Amino acid sequence: RWIRHPRYFNQLSSGLNIIGLAGEWLTATANTNMFTYEIAPVFIVMEEILLKKMYEIIGWDESEADGIFSPGGSISNLYSVLVARYKRYPEIKTKGMAALPDIVLFVSEHSHYSVKKAAAVLGIGMDNVIAIKCDERGKMIPSELEGNILKVKRQGKVPLYVSATAGTTVYGAFDPLTNIADICQKYNLWMHVDAAWGGGLLLSRRHAHKLSGIERANSVTWNPHKLMGVPLQCSAFLVHEKGLLQACNQLCAGYLFQPDKQYDTAYDTGDKSIQCGRHVDVFKLWLMWRAKGTQGFEILINRFLELTEYLYKQLKKRKHYELVFDAEPELTNVCFWYIPPSLQKIPRGSERERRLHQVIAPKIKARMIEEGTTMVSYQPHGNNVNFFRMVFSNSATKKSDIDFLLEEIERLGKDL
């Protein structure tokens, strides 16, 4: 019930699209698998069509690109490390990590934890993932990236891969993709763009410029189950080199991928995947895209950004709220503190910070859950104590719901 409620702001995925739900029902009814064309012909063709559409939107030639739908953005990001490593060191597939030098990955300090987890899963090791310093807005600082690449080279290690973020989880920040692409080109690093959250902005002519430079990436993660409102799960991993996914993951199991089938076996996509069984995640997206069109998604996403601007302006006007950083939102994330009357006259310092961190946000959130009226997440981040993070990804949310949230936070927290 909560996740479709217009006042549920807790996660990046929320709301319920009825057409997407119908697609999910029909997918379950078909109850098939995505590994071979012979058992999922329509779904495999749909996947190819939509992946080509996504390549085009990014700015890639469809004849040069490849991709696959995966079980969420964390797995898509894992694919990016997997193929980047295979591209540089194809011997990894047979000989393992012992045959490789020490390789290093670079992420922003505001990046999603999934790249670090991928390093642990793939045997690279979390100590070989370097977090690059960000500016106060949460964007990776290019000079810091270049300095760390040079430092790694001096240590005799191999800088392999950079993950830039287009829409960070907490601040909703966009790393400077063009500058990062220049550095990756200069030092021959694989450039991945984690656009799991912010990729949907590519569908908006008003906001797509925030991802300028994404066309220069070697790979991209894009989650339609976030900003585009597709029911969970729906994540695409896209790579700007055809054949690389297949070469990296192919094992040619004889009981599935017979080369003498009576159709073009290029449609058997199962060997591009690290999975065997693969859920049909594409049909609900295809159905929604047919129903809405690209323009329909654009209208939806523009509306989310308009709601974000409304919240930002409301917070600036209300005396009991402080913004974590005073800059217009780039995505739908808005980060703020509620300052109850008891803290209004307490000067900034350790006591005020302690109470904001230990009392205000946690207790208001607990009361929200008890009351069942609304839900919004909170977290600390860097040197900032617990603050609320609002996001918009629910098509049912209206300005009145934003007004309700702010008034409800005040009602629940005024005695703290």
Task: Summarize pLDDT for 87-110 with one digit per residue, the tens.
Answer: 999 999 999 999 999 999 999 999
**Residue 348 within a domain:** yes
* Same domain, yes or no: 262 and 302: no
Distance of alpha carbon 345 from alpha carbon 340, whole angstroms: 10
Full domain range(s) for residue 323: 293-414
Same domain, 340 and 240: no
- Output the domain CATH number for residue 371: 3.90.1150.170
Quickly state the pLDDT bin for 3 (edges 50, 70, 90): low
Q: For residue 18, is it within any domain?
A: no
Average pLDDT over residues 279-291: 96
Long-range interactions of 310-316: CB distance < 8 A, separation 24+: 310/399, 310/402, 311/390, 311/402, 314/402, 314/403, 314/406, 315/406
Counting residues of the chain whose pLDDT is more than 70, the rounded percentage is 99
Cβ atoms of residues 88 and 102 within 8 Å: no
* Mean pLDDT in residue range 379-396: 92
Task: Determine the Cα–Cα distance for residues 380 and 333; give it in Å rounded to an integer.
Answer: 15
In this predicted structure, the answer to whether residue 45 has a pLDDT above a threshold of 70 is yes
Determine the residue type at 385. V
pLDDT at 168 (0 to 100): 97
| Interval 238-253 mean pLDDT | 92
- Shared domain for 216 and 319, answered yes or no, is no
Structural domain includes residue 1: no
CB 342 within 8 A of CB 413: no
Q: What is the 3-state secondary structure (H, E, C) of the chain?
A: CHHHCCCEECCCCCCCCHHHHHHHHHHHHHCCCCCCCCCCHHHHHHHHHHHHHHHHHHCCCCCCCEEEEECCHHHHHHHHHHHHHHHHCCCHHHHCHHHCCCEEEEEECCCCCHHHHHHHHCCCCHHHEEEECECCCCCECHHHHHHHHHHHHHCCCEEEEEEEEECCCCCCCECCHHHHHHHHHHHCCEEEEEECCHHHHHHCCCCHHHHCCHHHCCEEEECCCCCCCCCCCCEEEEECCCCHHHHHHCCCCCCCCCCCCCCCHHHCHHHHCCCCCCCCCHHHHHHHHHHHHHHHHHHHHHHHHHHHHHHHHHHHHCCCEEECCCCCCCCCCEEEEECCHHHHCCCCCHHHHHHHHHHHHHHHHHHHHHHCCCEEEEEEECCEEEEEEECCCCCCCCHHHHHHHHHHHHHHHCCC
Q: Mean pLDDT, to the nearest integer, of 248-269?
A: 81
Q: State how far the alpha carbon of 191 is from the alpha carbons of 122, 164, 211, in Å.
A: 18, 7, 14
What's residue 253's pLDDT? 72
Q: Above 50 in pLDDT, residue 1?
A: no
Final residue before a domain boundary, out of 279, 303, 331: 279
Is residue 59 included in any domain, yes or no?
yes
Asked whether residue 262 falls in the same domain as residue 140, the answer is yes
Q: Of the candidates 279, 303, 319, which is a domain's last residue?
A: 279
For residue 268, the model assigns a pLDDT of 82
Query: Is residue 196 assigned to a domain?
Result: yes
Same domain? 185 vs 266: yes
Percent of the chain with pLDDT over 90: 85
Confidence grade of residue 266 (pLDDT, cut at 50, 70, 90): confident
Give the CATH number of the domain where residue 44 resides.
Answer: 3.40.640.10
Residue 82 has pLDDT above 70, yes or no: yes
Provide the pLDDT confidence category of residue 265 given band limits of 50, 70 and 90: confident
Q: Is residue 76 part of a domain?
A: yes
User: What is the average pLDDT score of the chain?
Assistant: 94
Which of 231, 254, 279 is at the close of a domain? 279
Together in a domain, 259 and 305: no
Q: Using CA atoms, how far apart are residues 230 and 225, in angstroms rounded to an integer?
A: 4
Domain count, the chain: 2
Has residue 327 got a pLDDT over 70? yes
108 belongs to a structural domain: yes
The owner of tokens 């900032």 is 384
Mean pLDDT of 137-161: 98
Question: Measured between alpha carbons, how far apart are the two ends of the chain, in Å?
Answer: 29
> In this structure, are 241 and 343 located in the same domain?
no
Confirm whether 392 is domain-assigned.
yes
> Is the backbone of residue 96 left (phi > 0), alpha (psi -120 to 50) or beta?
left
User: Is 182 in the same domain as 221?
Assistant: yes
Same domain, yes or no: 328 and 241? no
Same domain flag for 107 and 253: yes
Is residue 159 scored above 70 in pLDDT? yes
Q: φ, ψ for residue 68 (rounded to 5)?
A: -160, 150
Average confidence (pLDDT) over 48-54: 97
The one-letter amino acid code at 372 reads G
Asked if pLDDT for residue 34 goes beyond 70, the answer is yes
Could you tell me if 253 and 113 lie in one domain?
yes
Q: Domain check: are 72 and 209 in the same one?
A: yes
